[in-house]
Every structure is written in C-alpha cells, then in structure tokens.
Structure 1
Amino acid sequence: MADEDQQHGSTSCSNSNAESRCSSNVDNLQKETDLENMKDGWLMKRTKMSQKWKKQWFSLRKSTLFYGDDVESATKSICLTGAEIAEADIDKKSFAFKVTPKGRKRTFFIHAENETDQQEWMQAICFAKAASHQGDASQACVVQ
C-alpha cells in the first residue's frame, strides 16, 4: 500500500527510552481535562485506500492523536508512543509530515496549510511522544 511506503524527510523525532502503553480509548478524548500536550485543528490526511487528501479534524491528547471528519467524530486514533515523526515528500505537497506508530506497517501522511502549522503540529506531537516516556515533555524534539 502506498501509505506504507517509507518516504524519507529531513526532520525526525526518535526516543529510545522504554516502551510505554498508549490508550486509544475514545473516552480519554472526552474526559481529558489536563491541558498538557493538547492541540486541535484542521489538517489534511492522505486516505489509506484511495490515497486522496481529505480534510480532517485532529485533536492531540497526551500520547494519542485523534482524528475524524469533524470535532464530534474525531474518534479514530494514532498512538504516538514509540512512533516515528518526520517531514514527508509526498504528492508534491508542501508542509507534509508522516507519523508511523511503533509496531505498525501503516504510515499516516498529513499536511498542514503552512510551514508554521506544520512545525507547530510536529513539535506538539514530538512533545507528546516524549512525555509518554517520561511523564513530562523534558525530552523535546528539535524540529527544523
């Protein structure tokens, strides 16, 4: 599948600390009151089957990135614990990046409207990933 193709980017985030579990329970999104590692907004995600780009609402909560067609339906999830995050060169899309969850073959391709949004999302995802290992965001990723 094309979503599983490994596109190499120039920015990446990695963490070699012990693996911790990530809950993809939808209730966590609705019950989450902790403001740490939260980010919400519209991004474009490349669909798995048709490989077309679709506007999706994303919500970052702790070490899980939720997405869906709108705020209420953002129930699909990507576990960020141990995930690889990097810029992506795909479909001639500017401001694209990819998230490959640990232990999964699928790579999620996402692109933002502008470079600032791309960098903010990648940084927030990297902080969330690091915090899932340490309980805080002390292992910040450098996104260039």
Structure 2
Amino acid sequence: MASLWRAATGQAEKPNNYDGVEFWSSPERTGWLMKQGEYIKTWRRRWFVLKQGKLFWFKESTVSRVSTPRGVIPVASCLTVKGAEDVLNKQYAFELSTRAETMYFIADSEKEKEDWINSIGRSIVQHSRSVTDSEIVDYDSKR
C-alpha cells in the first residue's frame, strides 16, 4: 500500500535511493524551517538540506550517511518559490509550488527566508527540464 501511495504521489519508489544524492556531504544550503504536516496540518520544525536539485527534510540537524529523510522534494518539479506572508498571515513565510500542490514554510528571519527563496530558485533553474539538449539551437555554429 505504501509503494502504491508513493507511485500515486510521484514520490520515489525506492525510498533509500534518493538518486545517489549524498545529502550528508557538502550541501548547497541547510537550516531549520517550519513545515506544515502533509495530513495533520500542524507546524513542525524540521532540518532542511538542499543538494543536487532535491530538498530533503529531517527531524534532527545531525545528518549523516545513515540518516533517513522524512521527505524529499525534487525541485525540478517546482514551478515557483516566493514569499507567502500575505497568504499565511505569518512572518517569514514562503511557498514552493508544483503543478499538483503548494507547500508552505516559515523561516526564522527575513534574511533566512530570502536566502532559502534564492537558493531554491537557483536550484529550480539549474535542474528544470524545460529545455532539452536537442531543443537548444546554437546560432553561432557553422553549418
């Protein structure tokens, strides 16, 4: 049943694979954020790790090779990341949107919020598949 749920929600079928991303080593960004639960909509403090186009979260900040993420968002599937104080009526809030859903987060400060938005935004651009190699036209090359 769990694998059926993961398939239906687009989550990886191999929960321990994470596409070979070594989230415990040299991440692009880490930090505490408040995240709303998927089913029970309470706010919980989670440790987030952004690396190689994936946003992982954990219960604890001590992340190692044997740590198991509580969840992962492939940022390539994300369309936007932007401030959301007006939506949630909470200071330092931001949202991350995919075609299917919008997830909300709360940072500890304005600077943290802006840093997360910038880092995730950069990662979305770097890992998006909106243009494939075959669609890139090199107008400078000689035919």
**TM tier, shorter chain?**
0.5 to 0.7
Distance 2:24 2:58 in 1: 17
Partner of residue 124, structure 2? 129
Partner of residue 117, structure 1? 112
- Partner letter of residue 92 of structure 2? F
Matched, 1:61 2:47: no
Shift in Å at residue 30 of structure 1?
2.2
Distance 1:93 1:132 in 2: 30
Q: Structure 1: where are the runs of 5+ without partners?
A: 1-22, 135-144
Q: Which has the larger radius of gyration?
A: 2
Partner of residue 28, structure 1? 20
Matched, 1:50 2:55: no
TM-score (normalizing by structure 2): 0.64
TM-score (normalizing by structure 1): 0.64
Q: State the secondary structure of the residue aligned to 1:51.
A: coil
Shift in Å at residue 90 of structure 1?
4.1
Q: State the secondary structure of the residue aligned to 2:123.
A: helix
- Partner letter of residue 119 of structure 2? A
Q: Structure 2: where are the runs of 5+ without partners?
A: 1-11, 130-143
Partner of residue 82, structure 2? 86
- Partner letter of residue 59 of structure 2? D
8 Å Cα contact 1:59/1:74 also seen in 2: no
The count of aligned residue pairs is 108
Identity value in percent: 23
Distance 2:105 2:127 in 1: 21
Alignment RMSD (CA, Å): 2.5
Distance 2:96 2:105 in 1: 8
8 Å Cα contact 1:66/1:76 also seen in 2: yes
Distance 1:74 1:60 in 2: 12
More helix by share: 2
Distance 1:95 1:56 in 2: 15
